[in-house]
Amino acid sequence: MSRKRTRSFKNFAKNPIVIQNEEARERFDSIFKNQSRMLEKGFNLESNEKVVMPLSIRKTISALNWEQFCDVRSMPDENLVREFYANLTTSDANKVLVRKKTVPLTSKSINDFFNLPDVKEDEYSAMKMNINWDFLEQVLKVVTNLGSQ
């Protein structure tokens, strides 16, 4: 079994990361300083090998215009990603400061960046808005053991 490729904090010390405040610095240190990061995986979209990517998946990626998301050669700048997460203060934030620029975190801004249409309401969003919590609780009582974690 081969080792997973990781990068340590030491490897990216050459490119300083801009942290917006002391709280973000502490969060950055606790998350990234002593932890390796596994490199992301992707597909080689140029390959004709069906083992690499089945035709059905290739068609789905093409239909949704997701080539840029899936292409292993378009991986983001690791330092930029670390800085983004260090400066992201809450899970419900709608913007984050990265390299002294405010980056909007909306579906519209992300879709604009990737030249994708802005979807007003997708199936997942509609499902989230219509959850029957009482029914969900009943199902969970049936399929789980009381007191289990």
What burial class does residue 96 get, using C-beta atoms within 10 Å of its C-beta: 0-12 exposed, 13-18 middle, 19+ buried? buried
Q: What is the pLDDT of residue 11?
A: 43
DSSP alpha helix (H) spans, 1-149 = 22-28, 55-63, 67-70, 78-87, 107-113, 123-129, 133-143
pTM over 0.85: no
Q: What is the pLDDT of residue 49?
A: 60
DSSP structure class, residue 42: -
> Nearest 5 degrees, angle CA 76-CA 114-CA 70?
55
Instruction: Give mean pLDDT in consecutive 10-residue pieces for the chain, a chain of 149 residues.
Output: 44 56 77 65 63 76 79 66 78 81 83 75 75 87 75
Residue 83, both tokens: 């800085």
Q: What is the pLDDT of residue 17?
A: 63
> Rounded distance, CA 86 to CA 96, Å?
10
Evaluate whether 5 touches 38 at the Cβ level (below 8 Å): yes
Q: What is the pLDDT of residue 5?
A: 44
